[in-house]
Amino acid sequence: MSRSSPPSRSAAGLKVLLLENVHTSAHELLLDAGCRVDALPNALGEDALIERLRGVQVLGIRSKTQVTARVLAACPGLMTVGCFCIGTNQVSLSTAHDLGRPVFNAPFSNTRSVAEMIIAEIVMLARQLGDRVREVHGGTWNKVSKACVEVRGKTLGIVGYGHIGSQVGILAEAMGMRVVSYDIATKLPMGNTQTLGTLEELLAVSDFVTLHVPATPVTERMINGEAIARMRKGAMLLNASRGSVVDLDALSRALRDGRLGGAAIDVFPEEPEENGEGFASVLQGAPNVILTPHIGGSTLEAQANIGREVATSLVRYIEVGSTVGAVNFPNLEMSPTAGSHRVLNAHRNVPGVLRDVNRIASDLGANIRAQMLATDASLGYLIMDLDQDVSTAVADAIGALSTNISTRVVY
């Protein structure tokens, strides 16, 4: 789709509140678009947030700020919310949807960071580096080569061949690994990756199995005792996806009785909320096991990318009405038409809305130069480019329809 700029920077003067130390890359982009940006290092509770959102059109948060239905209802001027992270559970998405406010996040900004960590861990597991490092730090010299292998020529099985899985595959092939993958969706295999039809087939042929699936009812405990029993003896398991995907008790047993040769686990069924909190896992002390505190995506580059990705989505929405990437809204984008004014309208998805809108434009003598509509079950989102002299009158009339949720002229 086109990424052309709007005729003017219609974000100018809009007020943005960024909480929780959102990366400076976001500030720069929003300031560049002409927004006024206020930033706080911390999250805010419900009442403080409502207070602080007076006069604010755009809110940027990370994972701690709870944008509840009450917050959204109490802040009618708020146009959109950007989650500068992957998850969006902290926002009442359905309320934001019903109020016509798209919510954006950054699903791909840390893809590469996770993939690189997996590659590092494959080599670490192959050479038992976690155990050796721990021993030498503890003052023990234990120079062993038993069961230590090169990764070249070994088979890597990737479960979930999405953004991260496919990146891992490309990097693993560069190290001379043979790559096989399994996904429930049909995916274009990158490089020489061989697609397998079932998880069982993948488990049976892989020296290393790495998991890159979402948390769903189907993936819950996908790697349980039965699945582990299908893995090759001495194979290694890596999980940097979600903690619900692996049965850790079964994994612990398989590692301690030598059935599996090692594991690298970055995500757990229950994870501490804060740094410094105690943490216990059945895997602690198991041989050749790398345990990390959910840091797969935690790099400086990922943080900067997240700042840029979400701020770009927010600016695109403010300036041209693009909802591409919104998690709770029909995704729509239309190139600006030269010399036009643009009207955006979110409405209840009931029969006859487009007819009413077009009648209004026609009655006011407005020529619709371009128009696009996207809908979901209950909401329609319309972008319309009109002759400049009538856009405000058209927007006012559309805004007065009983089906209207929100209407604005962006330029």
Of residues 294 and 369, the one with the C-beta less far from ligand NAI: 294
165 binds ligand NAI (CB under 6 A): yes
Which 228-257 residues touch ligand NAI, going by CB under 6 A? 240-242
Residues 48, 170, 184, 229: which binds ligand NAI (CB under 6 A)?
A: 184
CB of 138: closest distance to ligand NAI in angstroms?
28
15, 170, 202, 264 from 209: Cα distances, Å: 47, 15, 8, 10
- Among the listed residues 9, 52, 294, 308, the single catalytic one is 294
CB of 373: closest distance to ligand NAI in angstroms?
27
CB 43 within 8 A of CB 328: no
CB 311 within 8 A of CB 82: yes
| Dist CA 271 CA 296 (whole Å) | 14
Of residues 60 and 297, the one with the C-beta less far from ligand NAI: 297
Residues 23, 212, 232, 342: which binds ligand NAI (CB under 6 A)?
A: 212
Give the residues across from 236 on adjacent strands: 208, 262
| Dist CA 45 CA 49 (whole Å) | 6
Cα dihedral 39→40→41→43 (10° resolution): -120
Binding mask 110-139 for ligand NAI (x = CB under 6 A): xx--x-------------------------
Residues 19, 235, 265, 267: which binds ligand NAI (CB under 6 A)?
A: 267
171 binds ligand NAI (CB under 6 A): no
CB of 273: closest distance to ligand NAI in angstroms?
16
**Neighbour tally for 330: CB within 10 Å:** 18
Task: Give yes or no: 341 in active site.
Answer: no
Which residues, at least 6 apart from 158, have a Cβ–Cβ distance to it below 8 Å? 165, 166, 168, 169, 179, 180, 181, 182, 193, 210, 212
216 binds ligand NAI (CB under 6 A): yes
What burial letters (b/e) apply to 159-185, b meaning 16+ CB within 10 Å? Answer: bbbbbbbbbbbebbbeeebbbbbbbee
Which residues, at least 6 apart from 24, have a Cβ–Cβ distance to it below 8 Å? 307
Q: Which residue has the tokens 């699903």?
A: 107
Of residues 296 and 321, the one with the C-beta less far from ligand NAI: 296
294 binds ligand NAI (CB under 6 A): yes
Task: Give yes or no: 137 in active site.
Answer: no
Q: Which residue has the tokens 């678009």?
A: 33
163 binds ligand NAI (CB under 6 A): yes
218 binds ligand NAI (CB under 6 A): yes
Binding residues with ligand NAI: total (CB under 6 A):
32
Q: Is 398 exposed, middle or buried (0-12, 13-18, 19+ CB in 10 A)?
A: buried
Q: Is 114 exposed, middle or buried (0-12, 13-18, 19+ CB in 10 A)?
A: buried
CB 313 within 8 A of CB 325: yes
Residues 213, 357, 366, 384: which binds ligand NAI (CB under 6 A)?
A: 213
Of residues 133 and 215, the one with the C-beta less far from ligand NAI: 215
Which residue's beta carbon is nearest to the bound ligand NAI?
162
Residues 100, 130, 157, 160: which binds ligand NAI (CB under 6 A)?
A: 160
Residues 60, 130, 162, 325: which binds ligand NAI (CB under 6 A)?
A: 162
Phi, then psi, of 76 in degrees rounded to 5? -65, -20
Task: Give yes or no: 226 in active site.
Answer: no
Residues 50, 86, 327, 368: which binds ligand NAI (CB under 6 A)?
A: 86
Of residues 293 and 365, the one with the C-beta less far from ligand NAI: 293
Strands in 379-387's sheet, in edge-to-edge order, are: 368-375, 379-387, 340-348, 404-409
Catalytic residue annotation: 242, 271, 294
List residues binding ligand NAI (CB under 6 A): 86, 107, 110-111, 114, 159-165, 182-185, 187, 212-216, 218-219, 240-242, 266-267, 294, 296-297
